[in-house]
Structure 1
């Protein structure tokens, strides 16, 4: 990365920290030649900070992780997948709820950070994968899509949704959670990404959380939490 590009990224991160809780850092940098469909876009972010979205420090992010965990209908999952794991903060929260958890990211630095963060979790495997082309083999009863769908184009989201459906086990759960405000350089917002995903998955939407800043949806044909406890 050039000194000029690094300086631009620093300015973007500083402006974001001062003005917005947006989980997106260098996506605000309209002066960069890189676009969200390129690893270079995210390489620039991780070159400036090991925590570009401030997952570790922001109450907004900690609260969002708690909401994500609370909206999962089952107490535990046999095999889960979290793509675009970044530095592994959400992965660390998901790990105690999973027998096996596969997480991936397309950026080398993010993969290194996630491996370090998750090194004490023997049930977690971290791999490098640029999606959707490198979607992993295997099947999952939980797939968590958090804070990256708005970086995709509609065509790429369509391809990713096919990957999700092809690897989702019967009665598997798909959870998506995203920031809803517009992001420079991104065609989709959190809301448009969720709306399109809802159409593409064609699964029952069993949990819908709408807030001014975030949206969370859960799709599954699995029993509800109450049904799992014999209450309904």
Structure 2
């Protein structure tokens, strides 16, 4: 069974930053790596699934013309809206995924620290909706903690294995550390150098 909303409501009732995303160097460094892993400098419409209090959202908003973020926790949504109040092109809505996946096509989809809260069935549904919503020349990035979480039905490794098996997209980047996995997929295998016309040049 996927983790219930009450779990997240309880976390945010005790702290506005339950994972210490603002304080921990681990989290700051992971955000930097996440942004550096994106193969395109800028995206049109981005979607962040499970935004928590908006720390990563703030950085993603700098790379997107428009950004939609969601979280299942009303408290998290309120905090993320406060964090993004200087970014009028970034919107935050309350939604429980995968059932309330938003309509439309996205140039960038980010699934960070979310997948292991879902049971295998819900994760498969999420992946299917994400794949269907990814625009031509779109990018999907996933990043997950690898260590056990008692309340979670899956591990980060299981989530990324399932993503790789079911997305049927070009695998553009794989970054593996003891603590987390970071993977990027795209609808095309175009490299960053190829995008900038560097292949075959003397540069």
Q: What TM-score do the two structures reach when normalised by structure 1?
A: 0.83
- 1:169 aligns with 135
Task: Give unpaired runs (5+ residues) of structure 2.
Answer: none
- 2:99 aligns with 133
Query: 1:37, 1:57 → 2: CA distance?
Result: 26
- 1:227 aligns with 194
C-alpha distance after superposition, 1:37-67 (max 9, x if no partner): 3110100000000000111100000000000
Query: 1:202, 1:181 → 2: CA distance?
Result: 26
Q: Does 1:202 align with 2:157?
A: no
Q: Secondary structure at the match of 2:157?
A: helix
Task: Give unpaired runs (5+ residues) of structure 1.
Answer: 1-34
Q: Does 1:66 align with 2:32?
A: yes
Count of residues paired in the alignment: 198
Query: 2:61, 2:163 → 1: CA distance?
Result: 25
Tell me which protein shows more strand as a share of its residues.
Answer: 2
Q: Please report the RMSD computed on the Cα atoms of aligned residues, expressed in angstroms.
A: 1.0
Q: Does 1:46 align with 2:46?
A: no
C-alpha displacement at 1:107, in angstroms? 0.5
Q: Does 1:103 align with 2:103?
A: no
Query: 2:187, 2:47 → 1: CA distance?
Result: 18
- 1:120 aligns with 86
Tell me which protein shows more helix as a share of its residues.
Answer: 1
Query: 2:166, 2:85 → 1: CA distance?
Result: 35
Query: 1:99, 1:55 → 2: CA distance?
Result: 24
Q: Does 1:213 align with 2:182?
A: no
Q: Does 1:152 align with 2:118?
A: yes
Query: 2:142, 2:35 → 1: CA distance?
Result: 12
Q: Flag as ranges the 4+ runs of structure 1 deviating above 2 A.
A: none
Query: 2:3, 2:105 → 1: CA distance?
Result: 25
